[in-house]
Amino acid sequence: MAAHMTTGPQADYVPPSSADMQARQNEDDALRLLIAQRRLYSKAKKWLALRWFGMMIIGLGAPVVSVVWPNLAVVSGAIAGLWLFLGQSVLINAQSALVAKAAAVQEQFDFYVFGMRGSVERSPLPSIEEIAAVAGPDSGLRLTADDESLLDWYPIDASDPGVLTVAISQRANAAYSDRLLRSTAIVWTAATVAWVLVLVAVSIATNLSLLTFLAGVLLPVLPSFLDVVRYVLGIRRAARDRADLMRSIESRMRGASESIEGNDLLVWQESMYDLRRSTPLVPDAIYKMNRAVNERVMRTAASQLRQRSRRPDGETD
């Protein structure tokens, strides 16, 4: 039976000191959760890559093959149909299950660092044993964290009030994801446009008539193309949701007369979990390509917000 790490509801949440949180995020118990959630997300992304490989190569390519080589029409159509079925059933369910687990583990990492207690049990949360198995031996946690640049995950200043530190960390998480999702949307939009141009070019090169192009190429690929469009729109919607959360947190941090309360932090944390669970996955290649810049601007923004909060007209507590 899974041994969950959450406990009962908390009435008045008071964050630990910033010095404690700064130390806690680099402890083995925190690193184990952080490494586990990253590996769970990576496994989910493999299912995503498999889905999109089939979608781009099989689902979108089969109609073209059928028109260019009519003798392969039956075989290519059958393969495309089977792949679309598997992609919308087996593959997407496997991906979603891993994303749910990763989001629950990531929430536990935040709970550990911020000293929070969950108000509900997350059914997707893996057992303690499963988390340990995914993260690897305790003796290698720090080495893995160092190799993957996971130490000092949140931009914490030990001299800040605890409430401010949690708010800055939550905003940093939302802002980082917003930038990453927007970059992903741009890449996928460009790839989609490029694919359409290639499709048109191939049709022209093979001297397809307009009727053949519409009936034999365009209409058959519409279901696959619709999935691509939904994915891109989902990314853009997720980016807007993250940006909304980021602005909500920042607006409270800027308030001179209205301080941030513990309950605000709990509400934002719950929103972050909901977004993580439903946000489309970002390919590792795009994540790695943007990581250095995103982390630099994240820490710069955190420093600016920290300095602003210390001004007489921008105190948060």
pLDDT band at 315 (very low <50, low <70, confident <90, very high): very low
What pLDDT, on the 0 to 100 scale, is given for residue 2? 41
CB 30 within 8 A of CB 168: no
pLDDT reading at 29 higher than 80: yes
In angstroms, what CA-CA distances link 142 with 8, 25, 34, 122? 31, 12, 11, 27
Distance CA 10, CA 266 (A): 9
What pLDDT, on the 0 to 100 scale, is given for residue 223? 73
pLDDT, one tens digit per residue, over 150-204 is 999 999 999 999 999 999 999 999 999 999 999 999 998 898 888 778 777 877 8
pLDDT band at 59 (very low <50, low <70, confident <90, very high): low
CB 221 within 8 A of CB 84: no
Q: Which two tokens stand for residue 258?
A: 């209205």
What pLDDT, on the 0 to 100 scale, is given for residue 313? 56
pLDDT reading at 69 higher than 80: no
Please name which of 293, 261, 297, 37 lies closest in space to residue 167, comparing C-alpha atoms: 261
Distance CA 249, CA 171 (A): 6
DSSP reduced 3-state for 17 = coil
CB 271 within 8 A of CB 85: no
Please report, for the chain, the start and end positions of each structural domain, with discontinuous segments joined by +: 18-308
CB 83 within 8 A of CB 58: yes
CB 188 within 8 A of CB 231: yes
Task: Provide CB contacts within 8 A for 121, sequence distance 6+.
Answer: 4, 6
pLDDT, one tens digit per residue, over 255-270 is 643 578 889 999 999 9
Query: What one-character-per-residue DSSP string does 199-227 give?
Result: HHHHHHHTT--HHHIIIIIIHHHHHHHHH
Distance CA 30, CA 23 (A): 10
pLDDT reading at 273 higher than 80: yes
H helical segments located in the chain? 18-24, 28-53, 62-68, 73-86, 92-114, 128-135, 141-147, 162-205, 210-212, 219-254, 262-278, 284-309
Range among 193-202, 224-233, 279-288 with highest mean pLDDT value: 279-288
Burial of residue 296 (number of CB atoms within 10 Å: 0-12, 13-18, 19+): exposed
Report the alpha-carbon angle 60-65-69, nearest 5. 170
Average pLDDT of the residues of the chain = 85
In angstroms, what CA-CA distances link 169 with 27, 35, 114, 269? 17, 18, 9, 10
Burial of residue 18 (number of CB atoms within 10 Å: 0-12, 13-18, 19+): buried
pLDDT band at 30 (very low <50, low <70, confident <90, very high): very high
pLDDT band at 216 (very low <50, low <70, confident <90, very high): low
Task: Provide CB contacts within 8 A for 316, sequence distance 6+.
Answer: 161, 163, 164, 167, 252, 253, 255, 259, 260, 309
pLDDT reading at 241 higher than 80: yes
- Range with the poorest average pLDDT among 2-11, 138-147, 150-159: 2-11
Q: Which carries the bigger pLDDT value, residue 194 or residue 4?
A: 194
CB 99 within 8 A of CB 39: no
pLDDT, one tens digit per residue, over 110-128 is 999 999 987 778 888 999 9
pLDDT band at 10 (very low <50, low <70, confident <90, very high): low
What pLDDT, on the 0 to 100 scale, is given for residue 207? 77
In angstroms, what CA-CA distances link 39 with 110, 134, 185, 223, 229? 17, 7, 23, 31, 27
Give the CA count within 13 Å in the CB-facing half-sphere of 36: 30
pLDDT reading at 6 higher than 50: no
